[in-house]
Structure 1
Amino acid sequence: MDFAQLATFQAVIESGSFDAAARELHVTPSAVSQRIKALERSVGQVLVRRTKPCVATPAGEALVRFAGQVALLEREAIGQARGGTRVSIVVNADSLHTWFLPALLAVPGPQYELHTDDEYFTADLLRSGTAMAAVTADDAPVQGCRIERLGAMRYLAVGRPEDQAMVRYNRKDHLQHRLMPDKSDTSEHFVPSASAFIEAVRIGLGWGLVPDWIARDDIAAGLYQDLNPGRHLDVPLYWQYWRIGSEVLEELTAAVKAAAAPYLRS
């Protein structure tokens, strides 16, 4: 038996009309009518009297009880399973290193599986189905996903004037070239860890782009200087997540937006 049809039948009987059931289920009245007709064909009986209000026929009364039992079991199963829910998320390295993790602490219960990639590539894991949600610089909604703007992460080009090498996260990382194109032909070091990247710039391995709230503290401490005073690079970040009506994803979305607010620029 089709559970969508069964749930629609229950909604019609409880609400008293096809139109009210459609509003409750967020579908069209035509879709409600088609589901009820399909359910009636599958059992070979008329189940709903099309009166005002709609009521179940004698054949439909047994299904009313069954539909209520199924709905109860579903709610109980979801409640028991939520603690074992696995949520897969892809996050750019700088967000993961700085502001993102407290969002997970705010939504306890699920088992989190985190992936990391360059912010311009994280949405690829949404498209492939590997991740349910992503922090991404891609502002084009992935099919089947909702998108929320988080703000912009601001970067400063920092280092010592004598630094000749450029520090990059990996070969996908081209932020340095965008802010300092005149120094893009220097030698390069690749450091694929956000914390190690920042430390590499601090000890003088080379110059690189560092989030501004970290860079300003380090500049004040005399660890390096701003190599391009008055200029910065803002990278807009978005939260994209599956549009499936998941309570966990909705709670996580609110937590991610709250965690990002103190660090990202509006």
Structure 2
Amino acid sequence: MSRFSSEQLQTFAAVLTEGTLESAARMLNITPSAVSQRLKALEQAAGRVLLQRSNPVQATESGQVVLRLAQQFAQLEADAGLELGFPGESPRVSVPIVVNADSLSVWFLGALTRIPPELNAVFDLHRDDEQHSTSMLRAGTVMAAVTATPEPVQGCRVEPLGSMRYRAVTTPAFRTRWLADGVDYDALRAAPAVDFDRKDEYQHRFLGLIGGGAGVAIPPGPRHYVPSSQEFAEAIRLGLGWGLLPEAHCLPDIDAGRLVELAPHLPMDIPLYWQRWRSASRILDAVTEAVRGAAAEFLRPA
């Protein structure tokens, strides 16, 4: 006999997805009391605490294991419904994926439109820096990730997608004001930069390349934080600072003279990888094929 029921697993995943018991109850169309009872029974069956009752709730280390089980069960159930030939009656499976902001804004959404609608999939997209996104795979929060990490997370397989090229740019007026004597380490460090958030290391890394000291700790200079891809690019176009933009976001402005490159000989290529659960799945296979095809069109060859 199974230790956990499908209802318990479904409820556990819903609570972690929605963040609260009340929101999960609305999604499942049951009462909060029923959600609480299912969670209590699940924790009793597991013999340990699975949820931190914070706001939003979070899975404990043991809860992360159960979350992976719940998501794998939902995935297997959906795959079975498809193979039995009843796609209209099979449950919709939510596929959680973590993607970096630039991929999300440049090419990833287009990949999802390539997935056959008969697979009955919906997508729960999480945004995180590509240097850190594998932590969500380890936690069981997502089934797949666009990441800069080539080493596979346990239970996952990995394949290269290609590289996204970035160029360091600013406005002509900003360059005249801050970099009139040329782009060197000291001048660039003194000029305000634009960072996406406090995980964003691209401007920092580019400064290291300019100074010939890649990998060397560099004290940060003045910077703005703009945590939205569209507004990040707009902040640079408005002259708030300098920063690295994907080619897709800056080449038209460079060609039109609205932006200037700080170091045309130093583009920065960031290799990206696709990591997904190793388990066989028709839905994950289709997502992987769609991501692979879109990446081949938008990214530089691996």
- TM-score between both structures, scaled by the size of structure 1: 0.69
Question: Which of 145, 149, 155 is the equivalent residue of 1:134?
Answer: 145
Work out whether residues 159 and 273 of structure 2, in 8 Å CA contact, stay in contact via their aligned partners in 1. Answer: yes
Over the matched positions of the two proteins, sequence identity in percent amounts to 46
Q: CA deviation at 1:197?
A: 0.6
Q: Which of 187, 208, 229 does residue 194 from structure 1 map onto?
A: 229
- Read off the aligned partner of 1:118 and give its amino acid letter: D
**Contact kept in structure 2, 1:179 and 1:232, CA below 8 Å:** no
- What is the DSSP-based 3-state SS (H/G/I as helix, E as strand, rest coil) of the residue aligned with 2:237? helix
* One-letter code aligned to 2:162: G
Cα RMSD (Å): 2.2
Contact map agreement 1:158 1:227 (CA 8 A) in 2 = yes
Aligned pairs for 1:42-61 within 5 A? none
- Cα distance, 1:186 vs structure 2: 2.6
Cα distance in 1, alignment partners of residues 259 and 129 from structure 2: 25
Name the CA distance, whole Å, in 1 between partners of 2:81 and 2:153. Answer: 33
Provide the C-alpha distance between the structure 2 equivalents of 1:123 and 1:102, rounded to a whole number of angstroms.
Answer: 22
* Cα shift readout 1:117-138 (whole Å, capped 9, x = no counterpart): 0000111100100000000000
For residues 145 and 240 of structure 2, the distance between their equivalents in structure 1, rounded to whole angstroms, comes to 31
Q: 1:110 & 1:82 partners in 2: Cα distance?
A: 10
Supply the distance in 2 between the matched residues of 1:82 and 1:150 (Cα, whole angstroms): 31
What is residue 97 of structure 1 aligned with on the other side? 105
Return 5+ residue gaps in structure 2 as ranges.
3-79, 179-190, 212-217
Relative to structure 1, the CA distance from residue 253 to residue 197 in structure 2 (aligned partners, 3 Å threshold; closer, same or farther) is: same
Residue identity in the other structure for 2:111: A
Q: Distance in 2 between matches of 1:208 and 1:74?
A: 46
Residues of 1 paired with 2:202 and 2:219: CA distance?
10
Task: Quickly say closer, same or farther: Cα 1:89–1:82, change in 2 above 3 A.
Answer: farther
CA distance in 2, matches of 1:253, 1:132: 11
Aligned match of 2:61? none
Q: Would the alpha carbon gap of residues 165 and 227 (structure 1) be closer, same or farther in structure 2, given more than 3 Å must change?
A: same
Q: Which structure 2 residues correspond to residues 201-212 of structure 1 after superposition, within 5 A?
A: 201-212=236-247
The 5-angstrom pairing of residues 83-162 of structure 1 reads: 84-107=92-115, 108=117, 109-160=120-171, 161=175, 162=177
Q: How has the CA–CA distance of structure 1 residues 204 and 85 changed in structure 2, closer, same or farther, with 3 Å as cutoff?
A: same
TM-fit CA distance, 1:223: 1.2
1:232 Cα deviation from its structure 2 partner: 1.0
- Structure 2: how far apart are the matches of 1:237 and 1:73? 33
Distance across 1 between alignment mates of 2:82 and 2:194: 52
The answer to whether the 8 Å contact 2:160/2:273 transfers is yes
Whole-Å Cα distance in 2 between the matches of residues 73 and 221 of structure 1?
A: 53
3-state SS, counterpart of residue 280 of structure 2: coil
Kept in 2, the 8 Å contact 1:156–1:211? The answer is yes
**Residue pairs, 1:1-266, within 5 angstroms:** 75-76=83-84, 79-80=87-88, 82=90, 84-107=92-115, 108=117, 109-160=120-171, 161=175, 162=177, 164-181=191-208, 182=211, 185-266=220-301
Rounded to whole Å, the distance in 1 between the matches of 2:81 and 2:290 is 29
Q: How many residues align?
A: 197
How high is the TM-score relative to the length of structure 2?
0.61
State the Cα distance separating 1:213 from its structure 2 match.
Answer: 3.0
Q: Deviations over 1:161-212 (max 9, x none)?
A: 1352100010010011111235974311001111111111111111100012
Tell me: CA distance 1:205–1:79, structure 2 relative to 1, closer, same or farther (3 Å). same
Q: Offset at 1:257?
A: 0.9
The higher radius of gyration belongs to 1
